[in-house]
Structure 1
Amino acid sequence: MELETEMETETGTETETIPRKRKGAPNSALATEPDLEDKEPKAKKARLSSILFAENDVITPKQLCELLKYAVLGKSTPEPSWCQLLHQNHLNNVVVFILKGMSQLHFYRFYLEFRFLRKTFRHKFSLPPPTSRFLFDIIGLQRKKLVRGFPRTIKGRSLTSGILKPSINLQNDPIIQKYGCEKVGLTRCLLTKREMETFHFPLQGSPNCENFILTKCNGFITDNSPLFGLNCEMCLTSKGRELTRISLVAEGGHCIVDELVKPDFKILDYFTSFSGITEKILNPVPTKLKDVQTLLRQLLPLDAVLVGHSLDSDLRVLKMIHPYVIDTSLLYIGKQHRRFKLRFLAKVILGKDIQCPDKLGHDTIEDARTTLELVRYFLKYGPKKIAELNLEALASREELKAASQEPEKKGGPTKLPNMSVLECLDSMGQKLLFLTRDIDELSSSRNCLTIKCSSNKEVLEEAKVEVPLFPFSIVQFSFEPFSPIFADEVKQSMKTKWTEMSTVYAGPFVKNCNIGPLKKMFKSMGPVQSVTLVLETFRPYFCVQYEVLEAAQLAIETMNGILVEGSYIKVHRPVTEFTLECDSLVHELEQDCENQGTIYVTGFGKAFKEHLLEHSSLFPGLEAMILPKDVKSRQQKNYCFLKFKSRDSAQVALEILKGKDWKLKGRHALTPMHLQTWLKDIHPEPAMPSGLQLVPPLLEKHVFQIAEENHPRIVAWRCNRKIEKLYHCLSPGTLCLILMPGTNNTFGLHPGLGLMKIKEEEESDPPGLGV
């Protein structure tokens, strides 16, 4: 194993990371499944690097933009300069939560209330105080300039689209002509018998349908009848087209049938580029068409409605007749009976990218789910919303774009460093979802669906429904920032709290004790800020203030109760209002997701790095070593943090380090690097605004008594719960960013905090939240 230096920050921390081979992700949008040709036995998963390259640095909006653009475009745009996103093409979605009005001060002041965030998100980083261009710098959303003739909202929602112009006559739209402007029910979307005859659906008595099987569906259809998405793939045989795969998806998105089917006659063309099916795949399949027909007759309830795209061809290849159908190619019909492709409708209506050209074949389950989502969208928003999108204009634009990109395909991928995230999504034919209470701050954008909500609770409810339908979403909650007086009081109390938590009292010692060796003993726990002799006691005591919390905790755990020069000493923290619950806080810090797999090690000399390299085989799973340096002297300090892939690997390493005759001490980490940097930056004395006065006792207590429901502690707890609920609605493979932007206004200037994670398969729900 070889360690190589990646960066050195202004705060004097050097990060050593284990180099790893990085496979370039293909030029694609957010992929929805692993590549079919992936030869690795284990499916690849998108993942973030175990350590941010700039662990101590402030991450700027521009750097966040780098990451989000790379998440959308992959190798078509430069990789982010500050972290690694591996296997980008296996990302399913991106969701950015913005907690407007909150800062890093909120997170650490109410650390216990943010239980889900700290236990779930391993990667944390500092943000600078925001500017008025925060959303523009990250995503490309600009402040609103009212354009004459553009509607601001549509029933509480605003589709900020440059396509909708005053000159458009919605009454000429074929969807309006068929369904009117008002919302319709499910039964109104069913194809009539006349329409089914016109578009060649198999019907009883129709030519060439003599041997077709009828489903058992003959019940009474209502607006509450169940929907089932159907999609089939087929091949060409000596007798024409025959079925090779069928997928049936229930309305909730659950796939209830997904079967490969072997045709009865000799196959002439597998249509592999569309179906993904090859001779090798189909050879061992025993299922025949009659088996599928029997299964569908058994599964479909009497009032089942089948949903599909160009469903007539699916029913013909199934050789089945079903009377109740909704065909999305006819539901979203264009002028002169133009039938738009499913891939196009998924992009412009749902913001989804399906049937990607870099994949082998179409995913029948994905296509069936997409048709169901299109029907739900139509029923939810109504014909007028669809007509306002102007599908004809969008289709023409897509055709022009495809024609203009042909030369680029021959020349290879194009770097797009200057595009915003919004423009990147637009280039992929995808739509951004933005949920917020502050709709007036945004300007119009063609591919941004903005939903205005009246409260944070409504933002939550809308997000649970809408976010799964979009590849890229921004969910913004708005909170009142700390008042200037309260913020200064919190900063002062945080500084005091951390100082007292990192301080220990030790003693009693004998009166003639040798002070030199005692100081050396304390310093072996970690860097010491000061050692003070307590003069108010009969026998000597020492007050030791450490630089890092881990050193103080290690001193308490290893030195309390030991025999020193004939006296059994006690090592403990001062008992104040700030340290009353210190044991609980230390336990929660150790369980912080960012600290999982990280250990604190102290007591080594200058040659420790070489020593570790020499014995690196003893520490499997070691990913990085963080080596703090003194800011002024640039000398390496006698402690470090070692990051491992898992907590188990870290625990094994800790036991090995303690067991070796290396004179090392250590424990699990408690403080992220950005937290240490932030604590050093906050002022020890409050900077009081003119005209305001700090009134003792603590202002927080007064606020709590006056308005308990709006107390920042309660707000933080509720915010944590909202994000937890939304997080569990996200699909695996979702890149999730939490941004507390900080504040830069009359309420004060405070830096922000970012957290990020890619949700994985089968994540268990965290334990219940505590206050």
Structure 2
Amino acid sequence: MEQEKEEANSRKRKEAPNSSASATERDGPPSHIQDREPQAKKARLSTILFTDNCEVTHRQLCELLKYAVLGKSAVPKPSWCQLSHQKQLNNVVVFILKGMSQLHFYRFYLEFRFLRKTFRHKFSLPSPTSSFLFDIIGLQKKKSARSFRRTVEGPLISATLRSSIDLQNDPIIQKYGYKNVGLTKCLLTKEEMKTFHFPLPGSPNYENFILTKYTGFITDSSPLFGLDCEVCLTSMGKELTRISLVTEGGYCLIDELVKPDLKILDYLTSFTGITKEILNPVTTKLKDVQKLLRELLPPDAVLVGHCLDLDLRVLKMIHPYVIDTSLLYAGKQGRRFKLTFLARVILGKDIQCPNKLGRDGIEDARAALELLQYFLKYGPKKIAEFNLEALAANQEQGDKEEAAHMRCVLKCLESMGQKLLFLTQDINELSSYRNCQTIKCSSNKKVLEQARVEVPLFPFNIVEFSFQPFPPLFAEEMKNSMKTKWTQMSTVYAGPFSKDCNVGALKKVFSSLGPVHSITLVLETYRPYFSIQYEVLEAAQLALETMNGSLLEGSCIRVRRLVTELTLECDTLVRELEQDSENQGTIYVAGIGETFKEHLLEQSNLFPDLEAVILPKEVKSRKQKNYCFLKFKTVNSAQVALEILKGKDWKLKGRNALTPRHLQAWLKDIHPEPAMPMGLRIVPPLMERHIFRTRKVNHPKIVAWRWSRKIEKLYHSLSPGTFCLILMPGTKNAFGSHPGLGLMKIKEEEESDTPGVRV
């Protein structure tokens, strides 16, 4: 027997080289040819550029879908995320779970195991509209007989609408009056600059900004300079890539390309015209531009631009004498019109033409300057007579009709000789379009069966499952229950302390772990205990893990979480949150100061795999909070970074992230009130129990678990290179609306079953 085994192993060793050679011949050319012809790159997603609230509008979602289906030759790249190597996608599949919302996902988080562990990219959706399907594919509903007729010539519209305008209530008249005004009257006040987030001396987050030489005395004859900046996106947000500065006569004073210090994630070429090839040889840095501006601008210079606050923030400069044409020409309720619109209507010029690649910064700076000069020459009354609100409404209507005709996915697919597949139980207006192959199914089960067969045959698929939404009262009760649950999970109890303990010192210690919402003395105990409610779950968990059994104020204390019906399985939920694919490679760091970002940049060589730094800010003051999230490419890189940060003398504490950004945004939305008083009784979810008792088979918890498993099987049946998007559109009821949730991923050739697979 031993001899036979040895002979078998010998045969395997002899066959190994031959099998390797045959694999090379079968799979591709020899290695020396492969060096010249690299393998095709895989399509990849990145969404580290989310907005603060992690919400993606239906229009932005439509941008991504159109780009995924059609590519950059037909539509521009989406601005809110990156989809690289779109040509490598095989097809696009959108699964719509009609009747479900974020509330379903968070309430049955443990049941949606496959979705949360597989789909790293998650985002919030706004409340659903009656035309959700049409919105996400860029299609306008069929117009009624009373629809607007688009008028092409702007001056003609202006003439017909002038008679109906109420000049007295026009916002420009109300602010400036009827008579012409001088330059100084158009300057933004300090309060206005503060309101619109212009950098000012002494303001939070602007300590490292460079000041211009602005000690001059401003008069109506002070020199004007038009300013415009173009930006790219890096891991730290928007960074300067081009600056244009023009004088009153339109003479170009500066037109410089600028290379950011950090790696560029998106050049925003469709907006700026700047590409990697253009920027590669550039050596000019931000500090060079700042120095040049300080030298060129006289002390009484007035900067003019459109949305000038953004320009000054990317320049990291402070200049108090500014005129912003988006505010100078502001409409009702502070509406800010686009520069292209104002240039066309007021100046009769077309700028940022669609046949050009990107914007011309010099052109934009000149346009802003000319808009101010027009305002000073003709006065507020002339501007008010244009009736900008009505003109904008007409243009928007015309733009919508044109966009629906020219950029709808259906229209573009038709030009390519292809169709959209729509699988559903409910036939709607989408079914009437000839370029939409609609298959009506009698049940969700039939939709599932048809999807397995039909989806591989179409480049773009919408598979709609219909579920019964929560009853209104049940939904509200569940929402309140979730609010209470996260409050309790984020609250810890510490003690016992001595009766003469220093409360201020205690608060300082516990605040070092994260922002404290409240500290309350527990009166029902003989020795003092304190209830500490944190703003984020990570801080509470850090307190449990690091403070329990510690010596504080002369007492050996215990730190624990209140055990209630809602927190019975808290440890399980915390473990699962840690394994959420969105949290993989992300760490929570507490105790940071205002200069933390600078420290991190100075020692960036210690963290080579750092993708993004997420620095939360106070909503009103915009002041940076004392914690942040660091996102890395891999789990190992995150753990190494955590140990490095804890080992430095920055007095930092941290752990693995628990709360995905979209979940944080949702919790803020459902938790606007103060913490619940300790003595208030919590009503148990009786209605949920009643439903569970009377409808065991169809309880939402069971439905969530069952359909998570079915979608998992359907997902695994898709071919590699499929862009998969799962949408819970959200719901509306008598008590209000519940926002939706989106999850997306590109399926790879070989996917590991472990969570955190990078896409």
Q: TM-score range by the shorter chain?
A: 0.5 to 0.7
**Secondary structure class of the residue paired with 1:670:** coil
**Is 1:499 aligned to residue 472 of structure 2?**
no
Q: Which residue in the other structure is 2:614 paired with?
A: 626
Give the distance between the partners of 2:735 and 2:752, measured in 1 at CA.
39
Q: How far 1:616 moved relative to its partner?
A: 0.6
Q: Which residue in the other structure is 1:139 paired with?
A: 137
AA in 1 matched with 2:652: L
Match of 1:48 among 21, 29, 45: 45
Give the root-mean-square deviation of aligned CA atoms: 2.8
Q: Which residue in the other structure is 1:188 paired with?
A: none
**Is 1:63 aligned to residue 51 of structure 2?**
no
Distance 1:42 1:602, change over 3 A: farther
Give the distance between the partners of 2:550 and 2:742, measured in 1 at CA.
42
**Secondary structure class of the residue paired with 2:717:** coil
Distance 1:133 1:616, change over 3 A: same
In the alignment, is the contact (CA less than 8 A) between 1:434 and 1:451 conserved in 2? yes
Match of 2:511 among 523, 539, 551: 523
Q: Which residue in the other structure is 1:79 paired with?
A: 77
Alignment of 1:358-757 (within 5 A): 418-682=406-670, 698-745=686-733, 748-757=736-745
Q: How far 1:58 moved relative to its partner?
A: 2.1
Give the distance between the partners of 1:695 and 1:764, measured in 2 at CA.
43
Give the distance between the partners of 1:683 and 1:518, measured in 2 at CA.
26
**Secondary structure class of the residue paired with 1:722:** helix
**Secondary structure class of the residue paired with 1:51:** coil
Q: How far 1:450 moved relative to its partner?
A: 1.0
Give the distance between the partners of 1:629 and 1:453, measured in 2 at CA.
48
AA in 2 matched with 1:750: H
Q: Which residue in the other structure is 1:127 paired with?
A: 125
Give the distance between the partners of 1:696 and 1:636, measured in 2 at CA.
38
Which one has the largest radius of gyration?
1
AA in 2 matched with 1:509: F
Give the distance between the partners of 2:523 and 2:573, measured in 1 at CA.
30
Q: Which runs of 4+ in 1 moved over 4 A?
A: 36-40, 140-145, 411-418, 694-697, 745-748
Q: Larger deviation: 605-614 or 412-421?
A: 412-421
Q: Which residue in the other structure is 1:110 paired with?
A: 108
**Secondary structure class of the residue paired with 1:728:** helix
**Secondary structure class of the residue paired with 1:516:** helix
In the alignment, is the contact (CA less than 8 A) between 2:425 and 2:466 conserved in 1? yes
**Secondary structure class of the residue paired with 1:112:** coil
Give the distance between the partners of 1:413 and 1:628, measured in 2 at CA.
35
Q: How far 1:729 moved relative to its partner?
A: 0.9
**Secondary structure class of the residue paired with 2:110:** helix
The gaps in structure 1 that reach 5 residues or longer are 1-32, 146-410, 686-693
AA in 2 matched with 1:479: F
Give the distance between the partners of 2:429 and 2:100, measured in 1 at CA.
18
Q: How far 1:466 moved relative to its partner?
A: 1.1
**Secondary structure class of the residue paired with 1:449:** strand
In the alignment, is the contact (CA less than 8 A) between 1:602 and 1:664 conserved in 2? yes
Q: How far 1:90 moved relative to its partner?
A: 1.2
Give the distance between the partners of 1:614 and 1:579, measured in 2 at CA.
42
Give the distance between the partners of 1:710 and 1:444, measured in 2 at CA.
33
Q: How far 1:536 moved relative to its partner?
A: 1.6
Q: Deviations over 1:300-326 (max 9, x none)?
A: xxxxxxxxxxxxxxxxxxxxxxxxxxx
Give the distance between the partners of 1:452 and 1:567, measured in 2 at CA.
69
Distance 1:525 1:763, change over 3 A: same
Q: How far 1:638 moved relative to its partner?
A: 0.8
**Is 1:98 aligned to residue 96 of structure 2?**
yes
Give the distance between the partners of 1:697 and 1:121, measured in 2 at CA.
30
In the alignment, is the contact (CA less than 8 A) between 1:492 and 1:684 conserved in 2? no
Give the distance between the partners of 2:415 and 2:84, measured in 1 at CA.
22
AA in 2 matched with 1:740: M
Q: Which residue in the other structure is 2:174 paired with?
A: none
Q: How far 1:714 moved relative to its partner?
A: 0.9
In the alignment, is the contact (CA less than 8 A) between 1:597 and 1:650 conserved in 2? yes
Distance 1:413 1:654, change over 3 A: closer
In the alignment, is the contact (CA less than 8 A) between 2:47 and 2:81 conserved in 1? no
In the alignment, is the contact (CA less than 8 A) between 1:641 and 1:669 conserved in 2? yes
Give the distance between the partners of 2:481 and 2:548, measured in 1 at CA.
27
Give the distance between the partners of 2:54 and 2:537, measured in 1 at CA.
20
In the alignment, is the contact (CA less than 8 A) between 1:468 and 1:729 conserved in 2? no
AA in 2 matched with 1:426: E
Give the distance between the partners of 2:440 and 2:139, measured in 1 at CA.
15
Give the distance between the partners of 2:44 and 2:445, measured in 1 at CA.
31
Q: Deviations over 1:374-419 (max 9, x none)?
A: xxxxxxxxxxxxxxxxxxxxxxxxxxxxxxxxxxxxx999999651
The gaps in structure 2 that reach 5 residues or longer are 1-27, 144-354, 359-398, 674-681
Distance 1:434 1:755, change over 3 A: same
Q: How far 1:83 moved relative to its partner?
A: 0.8
AA in 1 matched with 2:93: V
AA in 2 matched with 1:133: S
Q: Which residue in the other structure is 1:175 paired with?
A: none
Distance 1:671 1:101, change over 3 A: same
Distance 1:482 1:441, change over 3 A: farther
In the alignment, is the contact (CA less than 8 A) between 2:431 and 2:438 conserved in 1? no
Q: How far 1:761 moved relative to its partner?
A: 1.8
Q: How far 1:745 moved relative to its partner?
A: 4.7
Distance 1:134 1:751, change over 3 A: same
Give the distance between the partners of 1:766 and 1:668, measured in 2 at CA.
17
**Secondary structure class of the residue paired with 2:72:** helix
Provide TM-score, normalisation by structure 1. Answer: 0.57
Give the distance between the partners of 1:462 and 1:477, measured in 2 at CA.
12
**Which structure dedicates a bigger proportion of its chain to helix?**
2
AA in 2 matched with 1:59: V
Q: Deviations over 1:445-490 (max 9, x none)?
A: 2221111111111111111111122211111100000101100100
In the alignment, is the contact (CA less than 8 A) between 1:143 and 1:443 conserved in 2? no
